[in-house]
């Protein structure tokens, strides 16, 4: 597998959208650098066990938003992206992760107070390990 | 996208069995898997596409030409691998290659040699002396190398060992890379379907159940596990239930219903392709 993309079996988010967002995150996070090649549509479809139609849709959206560019006969590459845009992707994905966690908590009927408590506790245990509060 | 083959309202009766009516459009750059139980009409459909069987009604166009056209130029655009090769037993792989290669203007000898090497196929043995798996590999090598724009494969990976299947998938993936070719394949192998197919044409006892884009199929059915016992009334779109879990094809309506009735979900997920196909074929 060329790209560390994991499709969710539990999310109703369309598959092309999941792929689109995860590639954006790989670009924003620096795993995919400007100019690095992306797998061909057919190859990524095989790796992710989806169809070329789905991958093409994801690539087209990414290209439209300026994250990647296709050079005729050469392939698809990561485009030059402004810092602010990368920042925006990071912010969105962090918000998304918190929203997902909240959904789980709400489904177990936790109150806002309890959720805050859990958040504080998790943060606290992390700072002991030294990987937060840097 | 360029249309390479077009099937319209095709129907074919063989004794008690009727295939169709069925439509199928094959576009460049796509792989279509024909799926269905044994005897569902997959091989018959491939034969109709090659004009090896005549349709009762409807028509089939390959490269914009009707397949029953007296002018048979369309045959150079399509290569077909049947399940059994008739009349090959007495010949060696080399003799077969020398016979077939000149018939196809786009024959790719380099690709042929790569396939022969990758699958360690002996070219000096007579076809009848090869194992079933080896016969399948040789006939695939002799079919893929014709380099036609359409490839029809009838259960290409049957009798193949795991590593050969992987290699074949690799070859077909690369063969499709240009985006100008198409494959139609019948298969019972889950891997062929999950890793290669873009469209699934589903057949049941000759009845065409539809052709689905893979993503549509991957999100067709949803399974829910509930905290409490299920109410006796069926859920919206419910197709089956067992214990505290059920399957529906209307997830939005189901979740609205669950909200309204304050029922708690423990977990939920889409059904995998294999389970989805089983459901479709048993409806």
Domain CATH for A47: 1.10.10.10
CA distance B172 to chain A (A): 10
Overall number of domains in chain B: 2
Residues A73, A101, single domain; the answer is no
- Predicted confidence at residue A132, as pLDDT, reads 47
Residues A72, A88, single domain; the answer is no
Residues B255, B171, single domain; the answer is no
User: Is B268 in CB contact (< 8 Å) with chain A?
Assistant: yes
Give the number of other CB atoms < 10 A from CB of residue B212. 18
Average pLDDT rounded to a whole number, residues B250-265:
93
Question: Is A62 among the domain residues?
Answer: yes
- Predicted confidence at residue A89, as pLDDT, reads 87
Residues B204, B269, single domain; the answer is no
B110 CB burial (10 A radius; 0-12, 13-18, 19+): exposed
- Predicted confidence at residue A97, as pLDDT, reads 86
CA dihedral in degrees (B148, B150, B155, B161; nearest 10)?
A: 50
B241 and B214 Cβ atoms separated by less than 8 Å: no
CB contact under 8 A, A42 and B177: yes
Question: Is B166 among the domain residues?
Answer: yes
Residues A59, A42, single domain; the answer is yes
Tokens standing for residue B28: 């460049």
CB contact under 8 A, B268 and A52: no
CB contact under 8 A, A45 and B198: yes
Residues B54, B164, single domain; the answer is yes
Give the number of other CB atoms < 10 A from CB of residue A65. 13
Question: Is B188 among the domain residues?
Answer: yes
Tell me which chain B residue has its CA closest to the CA of residue A109: B264
A134 pLDDT more than 50:
no
Q: Residues B33-50: pLDDT tens digits?
A: 999 999 999 999 999 999
Residues B179, B265, single domain; the answer is no
Residues B31, B156, single domain; the answer is yes
Q: Residues A97-106: pLDDT tens digits?
A: 899 889 888 8
Residues A65, A119, single domain; the answer is no
B113 and B151 Cβ atoms separated by less than 8 Å: no
Q: Measure the CA–CA gap between B74 and B68, rounded to whole angstroms.
A: 10
- Predicted confidence at residue A1, as pLDDT, reads 60
Residues B68, B175, single domain; the answer is yes
Give the number of other CB atoms < 10 A from CB of residue A49. 18
Structural domain including A93 reads 83-129
User: Is A51 in CB contact (< 8 Å) with chain B?
Assistant: yes
Q: Residues B88-98: pLDDT tens digits?
A: 999 999 999 99
Residues B244, B178, single domain; the answer is no
Question: Is A1 among the domain residues?
Answer: no
Query: Which of A78, A93, A112 marks a domain boundary?
Result: A78
B49 and B185 Cβ atoms separated by less than 8 Å: no
Query: Which of B183, B217, B251 marks a domain boundary?
Result: B217
Question: Is B46 among the domain residues?
Answer: yes
- Output the DSSP codes for chain B: --EEEEEEEEEEEETTEEEEEEEEEEETT-EEEEE-STTSSHHHHHHHHTTSS--SEEEEEETTEETT-S--GGGGGEEEE-SS-TT-TTSBHHHHHHHHGGG-TT--HHHHHHHHHHTT--SSSBGGGS-HHHHHHHHHHHHHTT--SEEEEESTTTT--HHHHHHHHHHHHHHTTTSS-EEEEE---HHIIIII-SEEEEEETTEEEEEEEHHHHHTS-EEEEESSPPPSSPPTTEEEEETTEEEES-HHHHHHHHHHTTPPEEEEEEPPHHHHHHHHHT-
Residues A96, A120, single domain; the answer is yes
Q: Residues B99-140: pLDDT tens digits?
A: 999 999 999 999 999 999 999 999 999 999 999 999 999 999
Average pLDDT rounded to a whole number, residues A21-31:
92
B102 CB burial (10 A radius; 0-12, 13-18, 19+): exposed
- Predicted confidence at residue B13, as pLDDT, reads 95
B247 and B271 Cβ atoms separated by less than 8 Å: yes
Q: Report residue B283's pLDDT band, with 50, 70 and 90 as the boundaries.
A: confident
Q: Measure the CA–CA gap between B23 and B206, rounded to whole angstroms.
A: 13
Q: Report residue A54's pLDDT band, with 50, 70 and 90 as the boundaries.
A: very high
The position carrying tokens 């061909």 is A40
Give the dihedral sign, CA B192/B195/B196/B201.
positive
Residues A63, A87, single domain; the answer is no
Residues B158, B273, single domain; the answer is no
Question: Is B32 among the domain residues?
Answer: yes
Query: Which of B217, B246, B271 marks a domain boundary?
Result: B217
A133 pLDDT more than 60:
no
Residues B58, B9, single domain; the answer is yes
Query: Which of A41, A63, A78 marks a domain boundary?
Result: A78
- Predicted confidence at residue B234, as pLDDT, reads 96
Residue of A51, A76, A106 to mutate when probing chain B, most B C-beta within 10 A: A51
CB contact under 8 A, A53 and B267: no
Average pLDDT rounded to a whole number, residues B158-179:
93
Residues B64, B157, single domain; the answer is yes
Element of type H or E holding A2: none
Residues B74, B7, single domain; the answer is yes
- Predicted confidence at residue A130, as pLDDT, reads 60
Residues A87, A122, single domain; the answer is yes
What does pLDDT average to over chain B?
94
Question: Is B273 among the domain residues?
Answer: yes
A47 pLDDT more than 70:
yes
Residues A51, A72, single domain; the answer is yes
Average pLDDT rounded to a whole number, residues B23-42:
96
Residues A59, A96, single domain; the answer is no
B246 pLDDT more than 60:
yes
Q: Which residues contact A15 (CB under 8 A, 6 or more apart)?
A: A7, A50, A54, B215, B218, B219
CA distance A119 to chain B (A): 22
- Predicted confidence at residue A131, as pLDDT, reads 57
Overall number of domains in chain A: 2
User: Is A9 in CB contact (< 8 Å) with chain B?
Assistant: yes
Residue of A10, A47, A49 to mutate when probing chain B, most B C-beta within 10 A: A49
Query: Which of A78, A97, A115 marks a domain boundary?
Result: A78
Average pLDDT rounded to a whole number, residues B234-256:
96
Tell me which chain A residue has its CA closest to the CA of residue B169: A46
Three-state secondary structure call for residue A69: strand
CB contact under 8 A, B270 and A49: no
Residue of B237, B270, B273 to mutate when probing chain A, most A C-beta within 10 A: B270
Structural domain including B173 reads 3-84+148-217
Q: Measure the CA–CA gap between A19 and A3, rounded to whole angstroms.
A: 10
Query: Which of B197, B217, B237 marks a domain boundary?
Result: B217
Residues A56, A99, single domain; the answer is no
Residues A40, A74, single domain; the answer is yes
CB contact under 8 A, B198 and A43: no
Estimate the share of chain A in helix, then strand, then coil, as percent rounded to the nearest 5: 55, 5, 35
Residues B153, B238, single domain; the answer is no
Question: Is B90 among the domain residues?
Answer: no
Residue A37 DSSP code: E
Question: Is A8 among the domain residues?
Answer: no
- Predicted confidence at residue A127, as pLDDT, reads 83
Q: Measure the CA–CA gap between B61 and B151, rounded to whole angstroms.
A: 15
Q: Residues B170-200: pLDDT tens digits?
A: 999 999 998 999 999 999 988 899 999 999 9
CA distance A45 to chain B (A): 7
Average pLDDT rounded to a whole number, residues A55-81:
94
CB contact under 8 A, A49 and B213: no
* Preceding omega of B21 cis (within 30 degrees of 0): yes
Three-state secondary structure call for residue A75: strand
The position carrying tokens 């197709």 is B239
- Predicted confidence at residue B28, as pLDDT, reads 97
CB contact under 8 A, A12 and B219: yes
B152 and B80 Cβ atoms separated by less than 8 Å: yes
What does pLDDT average to over chain A?
90
User: Is A74 in CB contact (< 8 Å) with chain B?
Assistant: no
Domain CATH for B54: 3.40.50.300
Residues A73, A91, single domain; the answer is no
Per CB-CB distance under 8 Å, the chain B contacts of A53 are 30, 198, 213-215
> Which 204-243 residues of chain B touch chain A by CB within 8 A?
213-215, 218-219, 222
């Amino acid at each position: 597998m060329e790209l560390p993309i994991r499709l969710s079996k539990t999310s109703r988010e369309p598959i092309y959208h999941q792929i689109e967002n995860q590639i954006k995150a790989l670009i924003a996070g620096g795993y995919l650098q400007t100019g690095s090649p992306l797998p061909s549509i057919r190859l990524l479809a095989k790796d992710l066990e989806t169809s070329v139609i789905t991958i093409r849709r994801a690539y087209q959206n990414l290209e439209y938003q300026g994250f990647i560019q296709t050079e005729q006969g050469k392939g698809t590459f990561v485009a030059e992206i402004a810092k602010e845009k990368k920042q925006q992707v990071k912010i969105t994905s962090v918000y998304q992760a918190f929203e997902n966690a909240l959904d789980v908590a709400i489904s177990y009927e936790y109150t806002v107070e309890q959720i805050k408590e859990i958040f504080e506790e998790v943060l606290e245990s992390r700072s002991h390990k030294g990987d937060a509060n840097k | 996208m360029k249309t390479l083959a077009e099937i319209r309202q095709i129907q074919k009766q063989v004794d008690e069995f009727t295939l169709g009516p069925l439509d199928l459009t094959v576009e460049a750059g796509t792989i279509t898997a024909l799926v269905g139980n044994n005897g569902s009409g997959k091989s018959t459909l491939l034969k109709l596409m090659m004009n090896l069987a005549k349709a009762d009604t409807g028509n089939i166009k390959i490269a914009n030409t009707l397949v029953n056209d007296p002018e048979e130029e369309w045959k150079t655009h399509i290569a077909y691998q049947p399940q059994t090769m008739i009349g090959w037993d007495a010949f060696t792989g080399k003799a077969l290659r020398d016979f077939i290669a000149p018939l196809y203007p786009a024959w790719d000898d380099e690709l042929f040699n790569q396939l022969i090497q990758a699958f360690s196929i002996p070219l000096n043995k007579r076809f009848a002396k090869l194992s079933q798996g080896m016969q399948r590999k040789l006939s695939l090598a002799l079919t893929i190398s014709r380099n036609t724009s359409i490839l029809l494969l009838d259960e290409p990976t049957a009798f193949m060992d795991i590593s050969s299947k992987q290699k074949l998938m690799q070859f077909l993936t690369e063969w499709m890379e240009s985006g100008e070719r198409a494959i139609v394949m019948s298969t019972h192998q889950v891997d062929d379907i999950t890793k290669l197919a873009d469209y699934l044409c589903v057949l049941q006892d000759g009845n065409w159940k539809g052709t689905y884009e893979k993503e549509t199929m991957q999100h067709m059915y949803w399974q829910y596990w509930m905290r409490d016992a299920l109410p006796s009334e069926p859920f919206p779109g419910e197709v089956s239930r067992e214990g505290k879990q059920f399957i529906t094809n209307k997830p939005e309506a189901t979740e609205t219903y669950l909200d309204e009735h304050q029922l708690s979900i423990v977990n939920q997920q889409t059904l995998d392709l294999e389970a989805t196909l089983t459901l479709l074929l048993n409806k």
